[in-house]
Amino acid sequence: MKFVLPNTCSAPSCVYGKKKKEKLKSGSLVKQSVSDHIYPDLVTLGGLLNATFGNATELIISIFALKGGMIRVVQQSLLGSILSNMLLVLGCAFFSGGIVFNKKEQVFNKATAVVNSGLLLMAVMGLLFPAVLHYTHTEVQYGKSELALSRFSSCIMLVAYAAYLFFQLKNRNMYDPVHEGGSQHAGSLDDEEVAEISQWEAIIWLAILTAWISVLSEYLVDALQGASVSWRIPVSFISVILLPIVGNAAEHASAIIFAMKDKLDISLGVAIGSCTQISMFGIPFCVVIGWIMGQPMDLNFQLFETATLFITVLVVAFMLQDGSSNYFKGLMLILCYLIVAASFYVHVDPASVGELLTTTISGRILKTNLPKARS
């Protein structure tokens, strides 16, 4: 049985909009709690913490959506989070940093970019093979081989991400921030910022806000389909574009702030590190969770979505290969994201429509039977 919080507007679009605003505020507080404990000599760990707690929103939404059998919403929201971080968040960081420091070229450590680009390509490979297997109709057992391959690949990707974390944290010297002129550790102690809250206060706030986001996520998922019908917007556009923009708002702000302070390595860790974490941990984790729940969550993200991710990874990899950034690169990434957004606005996903109709019909049947059960 579900209950509706008292409010002045009960339409699905109004509920959806209110939940987005509340999640935006909660995500910003989570990000503030983590950012207050980033030290200049722990750029790698700082970017990792920002990415981890920034992705908590997407993972919580995915678990609630999986619980309701909305597999396509899970796939598209995770995909949209990757696209948003790679194109919009990183593009805005490059653009804002390039505007503030327009008289010099901002630089970052290429080792971080190369490793993350390799992991993103590995994630694309994991998503590509199930899709190719599905569309070429070459499965040994139709409907089973694709799911088995997805679960096996997910376990491999989780092992690879664990190895990446171990390698990254044990080899922090390789990822020291690089400043103009090739010098490392060029920052001074004067650049250190005083934390606004203590470490235990940050931990308490993270626990409280994570629990609050969990509550909001259930209402957000319930209002998603009603908002799609009310606004006359495809579910795929809401899942891939609108949901990730709200969920990544805190990461967006953090990446821009760090880029404007000439701490581009942290911005890169927040944006690209978040993409790596979602692709190598978030997606495989949801496949495993779906396996436990009995939901057929797989790595077949359909041909359109997989091709979009593959092209996006290639574009970003080329942008990062020289280890420098400027406002023009940022502008190019932002414009690429607008193209992606327009593509999903005119794209109708048959699987999402099927889930929408199934859930709507189930809801109508439930509402019809409720009075009979009471009487």
DSSP structure string for 247-315: HTHHHHHHHHHHHHTT-HHHHHHHHHHHHHHIIIIIHHHHHHHHHHHT----S---HHHHHHHHHHHHH
Is 17 part of any domain? no
Predicted confidence at residue 181, as pLDDT, reads 47
pLDDT tens-digit profile, the chain (375 residues): 443 444 445 455 454 455 545 544 555 554 454 444 444 444 556 556 655 666 777 787 788 888 888 888 889 889 998 999 999 999 999 999 999 988 888 888 888 888 889 999 999 999 999 988 888 888 888 778 889 999 999 999 999 999 988 887 777 655 555 555 444 444 443 455 566 777 777 778 777 876 777 677 667 766 766 777 777 888 788 888 887 887 677 778 888 998 998 888 888 888 888 889 899 999 999 999 999 998 889 999 988 999 999 999 999 999 998 888 889 999 999 999 999 999 999 888 766 555 555 544 444 444 444 444 433
SS3 72: helix
Nearest CA among 152, 82, 94 for reference residue 312: 82
Domain that holds residue 249: 43-174+198-347
Is 180 part of any domain? no
| Reported pTM | 0.76
Predicted confidence at residue 7, as pLDDT, reads 47
- The number of domains in the chain is 1
Is 140 part of any domain? yes
Is 165 part of any domain? yes
Contact of 9 with 195, CB cutoff 8 Å: no
Predicted confidence at residue 262, as pLDDT, reads 87
Predicted confidence at residue 374, as pLDDT, reads 38
HSE-CB of 103 using CA atoms within 13 angstroms: 0
CATH code of the domain covering residue 271: 1.20.1420.30
Is 365 part of any domain? no
For residue 325, what are the CA distances in angstroms to 34, 125, 262, 315? 25, 27, 11, 14
Predicted confidence at residue 54, as pLDDT, reads 63
